[in-house]
Amino acid sequence: MISLSHSRRQAVAGGGFIIVGAIFIQWSAAVISPVFLAVGPAAASAWRFVFGALVLLAVARPRVRAWTRQQWGGVLVLGVATAFMNMCFYQAIARIPLGTAVAIEYLGPFLVAALGKRTLRHFGFLVLGGLGVLALTRPGGGITLAGALFAAGSGLGWAVYALASHRVGGATRGFSGLAVAMSISALVTLPFALGATSALVHSPQDLARVVAVAVMAIVIGFGAEMQALRRVKPSIVSVLLALDPAVAFAVGWLLMSQHLTSLDAVGLVCVVVAGIGVTADVVDSDVGLAL
């Protein structure tokens, strides 16, 4: 039996963690973009994993000797999916505006949410979020084919990431699962990092940006999203992630001087309302279970 107060706390906390994660992850994209000119998006993503994994390992100090095959399988999937997602994402934002890239990317977790729909109201919010994404990704919005394809690939990785993060969060304690998963991501992307070692060593400013982004995105951003996935189902979190395009457009406008049109504003309203609506939907569903 789930109590009313407990269900509300879990839903509100989950939504709060998603917002924190969105802010830090999209903010970090603006911070890292100047580094692309020096080392390229692939190397920037790879070094971010290296530094992020080192910080998480130092903080979590995971004890993996007693881990089961299921736990190792979960972190392996999470690590590979996150590496694929972020490699594609950095390639996308090097080619198209940040908000547009995140809007296309969101189609991945949006499909996860669609598969998890349970009520007519929930479905209505999914449709609203989908219309918002369509408004944000309309033809003529500065999209290149390569950028769109990389963003779509990142969305595929994001869908797997959401499911795997939920599984790892439930099977491990604290940040130990995330620390090991990000270490796997670092190993998978390490070949891309090695070629840029000299460029980063001789550019303290770029190195500082990569370290800062590692903490912002991997430690704080991914850590917050995992905490959210421990509290609410992946299908619900996937719709709450509709807030990411809104945050990305705001960051692109404020920090990267990227243009925002009236259709972009309409799309932002749609996805934000959909995210808020699903938060209310999960609270009502939990209340029904409690009664």
Structure tokens that stand for 135 in this block? 């408004």
Positions in the chain whose pLDDT score sits under 50: 1-2, 283-284, 286-291
Q: Quote the number of domains for the chain.
A: 1
Phi-psi region of 207 (alpha: psi -120 to 50; beta: other; left: phi over 0): alpha
The 8-class DSSP code of residue 256 comes to S
Residue 262 dihedral angles phi and psi, to the nearest 5°: -65, -35
Its sign, for the CA torsion 279, 280, 281, 282, is positive
Q: Do 285 and 118 meet the contact criterion of CB atoms below 8 Å apart?
A: yes
pLDDT of residue 262: 84
Q: Give the CA count within 13 Å in the CB-facing half-sphere of 42.
A: 10
pTM of the model: 0.84
Contacts of 51 (CB under 8 A, 6+ apart): 210, 211, 214, 215
pLDDT of residue 185: 97
User: 256: buried, middle or exposed (CB in 10 Å: 19+, 13-18, 0-12)?
Assistant: middle
Its sign, for the CA torsion 283, 285, 287, 289, is negative
pLDDT in tens, 221-230: 999 988 887 7
Residue 117 structural domain? 4-290
Task: Quote the CA–CA distance of 57 and 174 in Å, as a whole number.
Answer: 12
pLDDT of residue 105: 87
Which residue type does 118 have?
A: R
The 8-class DSSP code of residue 1 comes to -
Entry field: residues in the chain: 291
